[in-house]
């Protein structure tokens, strides 16, 4: 029986949570503030602590800080923060201090229990990994490192998640709103799920839930909409992450317009292999989606995964071509991730009328007028074509499995990427 410590200054809330958790077969302890919780933890070690942010004497954030500053050598419990006045800044502070999740009040029973069970499962996995690590001789540890290049070439790929929760804040490119991102581990077979801070509903990163592809890829299910997912998904694709919980406020942050920040975030979190495999989607015959003679995208059989893109715009852009062969995370981080999103000054008025690009800034988008690039210098001679490849890699992960094939695209965007993905599913997955 797992033990949960509920820390809240309101007796009614403690009683309510105690009843809910007890019905789930959990042993429940209570404390009225952070100091009382620390005192309780000197006598017993819970598996999970559910703590309110705003409390007298010692609030939830101070409790988290004291818990991690104590220097206790034994494994710390998982901590879930709850708040009736939550926002992304509070969630970021809590996660940086070690909280594994953050839930806004009022929360639904289903969403709350999902958070609790996810935190307990993660705590059990942490303890199991720690026990296994302690039992493996040092000589074996030195020779057991993962080889991304070998696992990627297999017809099936090992499942992966991240080792610890990480956060990032920023601005939504199209909403213009301040937003944030919390990445949390998930168990094997869970897939990649997006949610908001309340975690009342989720939308899988899957083709079935693509809502729109105008200037970005948007997911929608059960009232939850998440915009501009492609750069993050491209990074997860490249790093082989198959299981992840992503909390976001409406739109994934644009960062500097590239995926380089997401690479750093995953490397900060640590990538861990899990039990089980996902079968790669093997392309055994060519498929082509064509809008006209000039705009088309094709995938054909190939041993690994590769993308070639041909971009053609009037001056000052001209023609850009880039060929990318995926050889693991390092190749993606060096060749594709730094390529930034771009837009034309002449299109800004139309995009504004559509409610888009409100978060476009001089530091997160390459802006081009009729004569030149107006706000930056290119990181690569063919940076715009590389960014189109970044978008393709992200959109191609919306079946949750790596694809073994070579993609060639000519003057296409998100709509054609998704159309090709639908054909891949119709041709190969329904037959299988």
| Residues annotated catalytic, as ranges | 414
**373-399: burial string, b at 16+ Cβ within 10 Å, e else:** beebeeebebbbbbbbbbbbbbbbbbb
C-alpha torsion 146→152→156→158, nearest 10: 30
Between the two ends of the chain, the Cα-to-Cα distance in Å is: 42
Q: Are 227 and 144 in contact (CB under 8 A)?
A: no
Structure tokens at 313: 């715009």
Structure tokens at 143: 């020779």
Residue 279 burial (CB count, 10 A):
11
Distance in angstroms (rounded) separating the CA atoms of residues 18 and 74: 26
Question: CA-CA distances (angstroms) from residue 226 to 210, 221, 288?
Answer: 10, 9, 28
Task: Spell out the residues 6+ positions from residue 34 whose beta carbon is closer than 8 angstroms to its own.
Answer: 7, 51, 55, 57, 58, 59, 60, 62, 63, 66
Distance in angstroms (rounded) separating the CA atoms of residues 300 and 287: 7
Task: Spell out the residues 6+ positions from residue 187 whose beta carbon is closer than 8 angstroms to its own.
Answer: 121, 122, 125, 161, 243, 274
Residue 53 burial (CB count, 10 A):
24
46 secondary structure, DSSP code? -
Structure tokens at 156: 């099936």
Rg of the chain, C-alpha, whole Å: 23
339 secondary structure, DSSP code? P
316 secondary structure, DSSP code? T
**Residue from 278, 183, 237 nearest 421 by CA:** 237
Distance in angstroms (rounded) separating the CA atoms of residues 23 and 38: 25
């Amino acid at each position: 029986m797992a033990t949960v410590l509920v820390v809240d200054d309101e007796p009614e809330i403690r009683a309510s949570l105690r009843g809910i958790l007890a019905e789930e077969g959990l042993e429940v302890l209570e404390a009225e503030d952070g100091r009382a919780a620390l005192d309780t933890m000197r006598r017993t070690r819970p598996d999970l602590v559910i703590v309110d942010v705003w409390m007298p004497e010692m609030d939830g954030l101070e409790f988290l800080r004291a818990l991690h500053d104590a220097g206790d050598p034994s494994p710390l419990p998982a901590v879930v923060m709850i708040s009736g006045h939550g926002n992304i800044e509070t969630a970021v502070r809590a996660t940086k201090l070690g909280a594994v999740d953050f839930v806004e009040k009022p929360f639904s029973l289903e969403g709350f229990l999902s958070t609790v069970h996810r935190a307990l499962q993660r705590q059990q996995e942490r303890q199991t990994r720690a026990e296994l690590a302690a039992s493996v001789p040092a000589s074996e540890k030195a020779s057991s490192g993962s080889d991304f290049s070998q696992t990627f070439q297999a017809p099936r790929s090992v499942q992966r998640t991240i080792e610890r929760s990480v956060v990032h804040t920023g601005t939504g490119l199209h909403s213009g709103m301040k937003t944030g991102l919390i990445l949390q581990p998930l168990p094997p077979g869970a897939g990649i799920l997006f949610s908001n801070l309340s975690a009342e509903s989720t939308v899988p990163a899957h083709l079935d839930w693509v809502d729109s592809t105008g200037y970005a890829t948007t997911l929608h299910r059960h009232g939850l909409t998440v915009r501009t997912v492609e750069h993050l998904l491209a990074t997860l694709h490249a790093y082989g992450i198959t299981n992840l919980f992503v909390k976001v406020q409406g739109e994934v942050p644009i960062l500097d317009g590239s995926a380089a920040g997401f690479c750093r975030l995953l490397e900060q979190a640590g990538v861990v292999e899990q039990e089980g495999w996902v079968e790669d989607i093997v392309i055994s015959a060519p498929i082509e989606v064509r809008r006209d003679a000039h705009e088309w995208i094709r995938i054909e059989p190939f041993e690994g995964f590769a993308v070639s893109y041909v971009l053609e715009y009037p001056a000052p852009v001209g023609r850009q071509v880039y060929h990318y062969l995926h050889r693991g995370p390092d190749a993606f981080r060096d060749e594709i991730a730094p390529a930034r999103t771009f837009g034309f000054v002449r299109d800004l008025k139309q995009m504004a009328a559509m409610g888009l690009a409100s978060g476009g800034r001089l530091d997160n988008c390459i802006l081009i007028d009729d004569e030149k690039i107006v706000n930056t210098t290119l990181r690569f001679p063919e940076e715009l074509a590389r960014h189109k490849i970044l978008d393709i890699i992200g959109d191609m992960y919306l079946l949750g499995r790596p694809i073994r094939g070579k993609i060639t695209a000519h003057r296409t965007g998100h709509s054609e990427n998704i159309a090709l993905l639908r054909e891949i599913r119709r041709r190969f997955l329904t037959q299988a």
